[in-house]
Amino acid sequence: MKTVTIIGMGLTPQDLTAEHLKIIEEADILIGGKRLLDYFEHCSAQKKTIDKNLKGVIDFVKNHMASRSIVVLASGDPLFFGIGARLVKALGAENVVIYPNISSVAAAFARIKEPWSNVRVVSLHGRNNESALLKALEKENIVAVFTDPKNNPARLAQRLIEEDFINFKVCVLESLGTTEERFNWYRPDQAAGMVFAEPNLVILKRSSEDLKWMNPLHLGLPDNYYHHQQGLITKSEIRAITLSKLRLLKDHVLWDLGAGSGSISIEASLLVPMGKVFAIEKKPERIQQIEINKSRFGTQNLEIVHAVLPEGLEGLPRPDRIFIGGGGRDLENIINAAAAFLKPNGLIVVNTVLMQNLQTASEALKALDFKTSEIQVQVSRSREMPWGDRLEAQNPVWIISGFRI
């Protein structure tokens, strides 16, 4: 039985070596997409076009591989979201020889001159894989997307708008490797109204630019509007409930202790237009995130303080309200230190996902003669499935409120 040869074309035949071309010229049967086969019209080999009936193509290969030399042409790199893996599984690794080449993703990142070693790649080419894309956008700062005529850049940009991922820039790379090659960056609302040449590839990159062009600051902003470390943000629904528990008035001073990305501080600033919000955070990288988010939304009454709690509170204006969004093992000490500065009739709200800190916060506040109440919030978010939707549970959060009697 003869082995089947799979050759990655790279971007165009210009990426093929002399050895690749010799193998193609000597093939009895040449298999590939119509666009790839058109490059080799002069070859005498029998041509077989890969279409939607991939099983039929595989059966054809199995029926002819014993007696005839078969070469399969794959776009880009055969094993990078290509036909290579499918053929290896169907024919057996021992019956396949693979020649890799430049992938379109590698070429795309070479064009924009950025590394891609940690980039998440999602394929929508002939696949209903939108849920995987949305999940990737929640976690990653940059995502490469294989498109097709149906899942094209315009439709992808429209979905970004619908799913509130407007803080991603869209780079569309058209006809890579050809004389018609071009690429450019767009806002989602720009790309959604455009037509792009096929084939194309899309790179989505989280932007730190001002978002006020699309949606001004308001309560309950989607999580992805904020620059934040993966997963480390007070989720939108929890944020809304927490702000309601703080009972902020327009002239209040709020301390946000362990501010993280600053999402609570920034939205709280809307509720205290005549007051002030102080975001206190110990980690330099999160201080930078707060600064980016403050600039992004043009928040004026927010001051960022770099301090390791429970130190660093002296000298700040006394607060009417205190929010503690973490605390870890130091939660009790932070509560005790912060409560000493709280104004009469003040309120402390603590969020935690740890049962141990639920008890710690409640007992610490009661020991300081606060009247306490506790709630647990469980939020589930809808996620698309191939023929419907499901609910995906988020981590339950305890919210402990302490009112100074």
Q: Per-residue pLDDT averaged across 349-372, rounded?
A: 95
* pLDDT classification of 362: cutoffs 50, 70, 90: very high
User: Using alpha carbons only, what angle is made at residue 105 by residues 202 and 131, rounded to the nearest 5 degrees?
Assistant: 50
Q: Are 174 and 180 in contact (CB under 8 A)?
A: yes
From the list 166, 174, 22, 3, the residue with the least C-alpha distance to 97 is 3
Q: Per-residue pLDDT averaged across 141-159, rounded?
A: 93
Query: CA separation (Å) from 144 to 8, 14, 120, 202, 270?
Result: 20, 24, 6, 6, 36
Phi, psi of 320 (to 5 degrees): -85, -30
- Among 109-123, 207-221, 306-320, whose mean pLDDT is lowest? 207-221
Q: What percent of the chain has pLDDT over 70?
A: 97
Strand 347-352 vs strand 397-404: parallel, antiparallel, or unpaired? antiparallel
Q: Per-residue pLDDT averaged across 331-349, rounded?
A: 95
Q: Token pair 């790649």 is at which residue?
A: 121
Cα–Cα distance between 222 and 235 in angstroms, integer?
A: 8
Q: What is the pLDDT of residue 389?
A: 83
From the list 369, 236, 366, 279, the residue with the least C-alpha distance to 400 is 366
Q: Token pair 């698309």 is at which residue?
A: 384
Fold designation for 105-206: 3.30.950
Fold designation for 4-102: Cobalt-precorrin-4 Transmethylase; domain 1 (3.40.1010)
Encoded amino acid at 400, one letter: I
Q: With a cut of 50, say whether residue 213 has pLDDT above it.
A: no
* pLDDT classification of 166: cutoffs 50, 70, 90: confident
Domain ranges of the chain: 4-102, 105-206, 223-404
Q: Which residue has the higher pLDDT, 395 or 370?
A: 370
Average predicted confidence (pLDDT) for the chain: 91
Q: Are 70 and 61 in contact (CB under 8 A)?
A: yes
Q: With a cut of 80, say whether residue 351 has pLDDT above it.
A: yes
Q: Is the peptide bond before 199 cis (omega within 30 degrees of 0)?
A: yes
Strand 70-74 vs strand 29-32: parallel, antiparallel, or unpaired? parallel
- Two tokens, residue 401: 């409120």
CATH of domain 223-404: 3.40.50.150
